[in-house]
Structure 1
Amino acid sequence: MENITRGGQFLVKETLSQNIFTPEDFSEEQIMMRDSVKEFIDREIWPNKERFEKKDYTFTEECMRKAGDLGFLGVAVPEEFGGLGMGFVSTMLTCDYISGATGSFSTAFGAHTGIGTMPITLYGTTEQKNKYVPKLASGEWFGAYCLTEPGAGSDANSGKTKAELTPDAKHYKINGQKMWISNAGFCNVMIVFARIEDDKNITGFIVEYDPENPNGIVLGEEEHKLGIRASSTRQVFYNDTLVPVENMLAGRGEGFKIAMNALNVGRIKLAAACLDSQRRLITNSVKYANERIQFKTPIANFGAIRAKIAEMATNAFVGESASYRAAGDIENRINARLADGASHQEAELKGVEEFAIECSILKVAVSEDVQNCADEGIQIFGGMGFSEDTPMESAWRDARISRIYEGTNEINRMLTVGMLIKKAMKGHVDLLGPAMAVGEELMGIPDFSTPDYDELFAEEKALLAKLKKAFLMVAGSAVQKYGTELDKHQQLLMAASDMLIEIYMAESAILRTEKLVAKIGEDAAKIQIAMTRLYLYHATDIISSKGKEGIVSFTEGDEQRMMLMGLRRFTKYDNMPNVIALRDIIADKVIAENEYCF
């Protein structure tokens, strides 16, 4: 296991392209699963988008049952509990392609398979798993996850819902209120978090729900939302709801741990759930641009439109690259733990937890990319994009929730840097040594020579190494200045986080494309090379801007001048790429293929 990458190490340890997983590495079994999911979405979901927009909650439930019949709800569930027992990459792939048509179905699917089923699979006793998981894996029953309360959102452990042991010690009596509960309108099982007495941490419970015998459970009316309109979202009220003591999930006070680990998995799965949306948005946009004639020519010929198509395709490609890289790393970690004798539960939990930083990075980056993609899709459609007659406006509304789900993007930004520092303090990632080396380099005489870059991506990799130094310089100095008080400087943390996010995303694109070139050759991969270089150009700009913002916030005088000089050095190209030419290469391919084609 020593040879397997640890979470956060991408910043200080070189990753070889042959050691990452890419979408080009899908097995035959994974390709068959992908094609089955796409066929289901194209047959059952995409033609019925209007029903979802008209808040047809019953139709969402019908589609979920069909997904259960096809086995899609049990991809991640072990075979002994009625699932397919497929690996982490396969569960990501299913989540990716099942989520492209509408956010309503995507949310119902994600809430059920992730936070509805997974806590029982990973934390339940054998009896609990045997009783509930097969029904959830088949779609006979549906799950919901009841954590959020009116006064407990991002601060999940502050919930007021109470669980009180009955005098006969056979049940817990739950009283309280939950809100924004996905699948509440048709669920049979709820994962409910409540506090026992004055415990520091909340506790998880498995609570059955039967409308014919509600057991003190009252559902609020369906919420009327900006997007995901046919995703059942209700408040849930518990009034002396009796739950058998054997339905406690994990141990007393372990609910917060369950919630946090569920969020780690949810974050990377949410990134996956934003990928096929981008592919479909790009395909619809380019088809419209090829058909829409203005000034006697298709608008796809206009440079302003071509630039949008190129940027949309680039972000989708990079999001795919980073998401499947992380999924592959997690699967490798899970398999290594299983080989060392760990249980399925422990291997899955520790495998995902190891890459919690990457999960937060992906959640932020890809959720913002899908929103931008939908926004540009509306712009390409022009006035028609604003109309409900095209899929753009609903996609834009549906995308908006992804920046709030699984912890807001602001929370996740701060978590990335915070978790990285904690890993460094535990000795899991050596940040101190590299940060000190960067400090010494700043004091030295810079090398003004321009190297010869003979190999593909040699300059890009050299620049990426410098971008990592820029982050280490800013974050290292900030930690030195503020120490344990750093978490109080949220704007500085967010600037540092944006630097970290761009490093991971850009590196993932470089590694994927380098691996692809080794397989099919440089000429055949010229579009992917162009997308990689275009993304790195933007990433470098962002890192320069955010680095400057961070530096001037906590330095002054000579220290500030030295760090700003260092930032300029670390974000400097030796040979600046022709960005317009790169966009034209990408746009030519996508427009000619009339779809997202990578």
Structure 2
Amino acid sequence: MTVEFEARAGNGRFLVSDTAPAGVFTREDLSEEQLLFGRAAEEFMRTEVAPRAAEIYAKDWPLTRALIKQAADRDFTRLEIPEAYGGLGLDKVSTACVGEQLGLLPSFAGSLGAHTSIGTLPIVYFGNDDQRQRYLPRLANGELIGAFALTEPEAGSDALSARTTATLTADGRHYTLRGQKLWITNGGFADIFTVFAKVDGKDFTAFIVERGMGVISGAEEHKLGLDGSSTTALMFDDVKVPVENVLGTIGEGHKVAFNILNLGRVKLGTRNIGGAKQALTGAVKYAVGRRQFGKSIASFGMIKHKIAEMSVRCFVGDAMVFRSLGEVDEALSCVDANDGAAVLREIEEFAIECSINKVWSSEALAYVVDESLQVYGGNGYSREFPAERAYRDARITRIYEGTNEINRLIVGTRLAKSAAVTAAMASGIGPADHTGSTVRQLVAGAKRVTLHTLAQAAGKYGKALGGEQEVVSRIADLAIEVYALESAMLRAEKMQARGGGYAAVALDIVSVFAADASDRLIIAAKNALAAITGAGAATAVERAIAELRHGPFDTIAARRRIADAVIEAGRYPL
């Protein structure tokens, strides 16, 4: 089905637009080429990577490097590198089709993902031609492995407080780097690092640093999860880096760091949802085979509830990720793919949506792996079964690529600065348009309440809004809920138009999600408006509840239908 993008997306415009199903990209719009990449990635993970899991978790880094080289031989490391530098120059949706399948083994996903994304893309987007010629072909073919070195002992979420320094040598030919980085994925074996340091202690700048220049890796961290990926500190003790290896402009390292993280966040969403689908499928297979009280536990209502709710999270997250990536690809189709600065300007327009996807998908994954483990019962607590490792591996997704707290602040504060959103607030916010399905009514009402709450907050706090973190996070929760619900609704409506398949199941999923989203929206609005309006809270909250109230719906029956469809398929089938 053709996607007919109606207007420019990004920068929170979903809050002020009325999008039609034909105007969003969904899984059902994947091309045959994109599907082939996904199937090839799944086959690679199942036949080459999964059978070596024990060795990967034993920290056999030569094996991990060899598997990354095999991935390169299958073109999985080339997707986003321009053709002129040994890549394929494909769209972001194609990368999502590959990334989703990496969820089968999250530790390897972390290693390969760090290489292809944050380890390579800084040079793709910010490197000059010489830097691209020197490094990208060898990153594309797997000869070199990349990594991204931003975090420091005293610079976590506050990345710009970095203490690593870069001082120009007397002959003007090198920068001398001194400092330490922490939590570096691929730190134990990577060859090339994008390192952030302050020139003369003040100008935050990115550098391309080769291991042979004197980079020293610390010991492997003993982690809760992802214990089959390398995570170390890096030490820079008078490391001489040629001036030709400054990446981008001196003093503009923040543009490199934050734009690469923006893209990494939405791509992490594909891996998160892929991992959630793996966990759900494992739980279904276990539940079908596990018998208690004389029958399969999959026949019990409370197990069906878990299977259905896990399916809801997978469907909604899938709709969000592909919607966002489709919009990013549409925006990038209008610029020269070889103009890294232009590409990054377009990607920055989607910072809000990237953060929304990161928060929602990581919290959805957390829910799914938790409920999956519960389905396994006592066996889920044993390392002999896959649920235990999935549970541990998932925890980091709410921390890296920016904590979910930081990403909520990004959503809320950027919405307050969005030209499209502020224009809507300035023009006056009327009642929601109560037409169409009850879900559409809820989406419209939720948009109005979110805009109204944001307008009230901006009016009261002005430029100090960013300091009201509790209020900002509640506004972010409203926006995240709107984006999730609308994305799922649009995908389901698109499936209805096509007919057949799992269209009826999709409708049940959206109806269940809307019923629960109504309650979550009301809570977020009540908390925010009570803090903002003070004495006028009662009236403001009553108006919000009127907009967000969702009529009674038999979610129990709908969840049973969802679960039955998934159990019959023996896996998550949508």
Scaled to the shorter chain, the TM-score interval is over 0.9
2:505 to 508, 519, 527: 527
CA distance in 2, matches of 1:268, 1:585: 31
Equivalenced residues, count: 570
CA contact (8 A) 2:416 2:454 kept: no
Which residue identity is paired with 1:125? N
Q: Aligned match of 1:165 in 164, 168, 174?
A: 168
Q: CA RMSD in A?
A: 1.7
Q: Pick the aligned partner of 1:333 from 324, 331, 334.
A: 331
What's the counterpart of residue 140 of structure 1? 143
- What is the match of residue 512 of structure 1? 491
> Tell me, what secondary structure is at the counterpart of 2:175?
strand
TM-score w.r.t. the length of structure 1 is 0.92
CA distance in 1, matches of 2:299, 2:83: 52
Question: 1:47 is matched with which residue: 39, 46, 51?
Answer: 51
Q: Residue 554 of structure 1: CA displacement?
A: 2.7
2:250 maps to which of 242, 249, 252: 252
Q: CA deviation at 1:30?
A: 0.5
Aligned to 2:381: 386
**Structure 2 match to 1:20:** 24
Tell me the SS of whatever aligns to 1:204.
Answer: strand
Is the 2:215–2:239 Cα contact (8 Å) retained in structure 1?
Answer: yes
Distance 1:133 1:343, change over 3 A: closer
CA distance in 2, matches of 1:217, 1:516: 52
Identity over the aligned pairs, expressed in percent? 39
Gaps of 5+ in 1: none
What are the equivalent positions in structure 2 for 1:470-489 lying under 5 Å apart? Answer: 470-489=449-468
| 1:586 equivalent in alignment to 2:562 | yes
* Letter of the structure 1 residue corresponding to residue 45 of structure 2: I
Partner of 1:36: 40
Letter in 2 for 1:463: L
Kept in 1: contact 2:421–2:451 (CA 8 A): no
Matched, 1:576 2:567: no
CA distance in 2, matches of 1:515, 1:392: 33
Match of 1:437 in 2: 429
Q: Aligned to 1:55, what secondary structure does the other structure show?
A: coil
Relative distance call for 1:429 and 1:328 in structure 2 (3 A) is farther
Is the contact made by 1:331 and 1:351 (CA closer than 8 Å) also made in structure 2? no
**Alignment match, 2:89:** 85
- SS of the residue corresponding to residue 335 of structure 2 reads helix
Which residue of structure 2 aligns with residue 180 of structure 1?
Answer: 183
- Give the aligned residue type for 1:555: T
Change (3 A) 1:27 1:532: same
Secondary structure of the corresponding residue to residue 144 of structure 2: coil
Q: Is the contact made by 2:10 and 2:353 (CA closer than 8 Å) also made in structure 1?
A: no
Output the CA distance in 1 between the equivalents of 2:380 and 2:346.
42
- 8 Å Cα contact 1:64-1:139 kept in structure 2: yes
Contact 1:73–1:138 at 8 Å: present in 2 too?
yes
Q: What is the alpha-carbon distance in structure 2 between the residues aligned to residue 312 and residue 286 of structure 1?
A: 10
Mapping for residues 116-155 of structure 1, pairs under 5 Å: 116-155=119-158
Q: Which moved more, 1:473-482 or 1:580-589?
A: 473-482
Q: Deviations over 1:314-347 (max 9, x none)?
A: 1001100010000000000000223xxx743134
Amino acid at match of 1:93: C
How far apart are 1:251 and its partner, in Å?
1.0
Q: When the two structures are superposed, what TM-score results if normalisation uses the length of structure 2?
A: 0.96
Which amino acid in 2 is paired with 1:391?
Answer: P
* Aligned residue runs from structure 1 range 128-527, under 5 A: 128-199=131-202, 201-210=203-212, 215-338=213-336, 343-424=338-419, 430-433=423-426, 436-438=428-430, 441=431, 458-520=437-499, 525-527=503-505
Distance of aligned partners of 1:571 and 1:519 in 2 relative to their CA distance in 1, 3 Å threshold: same
Selected match of 2:521 from 543, 560, 568 = 543
Shift of the alpha carbon at 1:349?
0.9
Q: Tell me the distance in 1 between the aligned counterparts of 2:502 and 2:318.
A: 19
With over 3 angstroms needed to count, the CA separation of the structure-2 counterparts of 1:524 and 1:66, relative to structure 1, is: closer
Q: Deviations over 1:245-288 (max 9, x none)?
A: 11100111111110010110111011111121111111110011
Q: For the Cα contact (< 8 Å) 2:425–2:452, is it kept in 1? A: no
Give the counterpart letter for 1:203 in structure 2: T
Q: Distance in 1 between matches of 2:180 and 2:290?
A: 51
Contact 2:381 2:387 in 1 (8 A): yes
**Separation (CA, whole Å) in 2 of partners of 1:541 and 1:93:** 33
Cα deviation code 1:18-68 (max 9, x no counterpart)? 011111111111011111000001112223333333333333222212111
What is the CA distance between 1:428 and its match in structure 2? 7.0
- Residue 2 of structure 1: how far off its partner (Å): 8.8
Q: In structure 2, give the amino acid aligned to 1:297.
A: K
- Distance in 2 (alpha carbons) for counterparts of 1:337 and 1:81: 19
Q: Distance in 1 between matches of 2:369 and 2:63?
A: 25
Note closer, same or farther for the CA distance 1:389–1:299 as it changes in structure 2 (3 Å cut): same
How far is the alpha carbon of 1:556 from its aligned partner?
A: 2.7
Deviation at 1:501, TM superposition (A): 0.3
* 1:181-209 superposed Cα distances (whole Å, 9 cap, x missing partner): 1111111111111111142x411111111
Distance (whole Å) between structure 2 residues aligned to residue 395 and residue 53 of structure 1: 13
Letter in 2 for 1:430: A
**Amino acid of the residue matched to residue 202 of structure 1?**
F
1:437, distance to aligned residue in structure 2 (A): 2.2
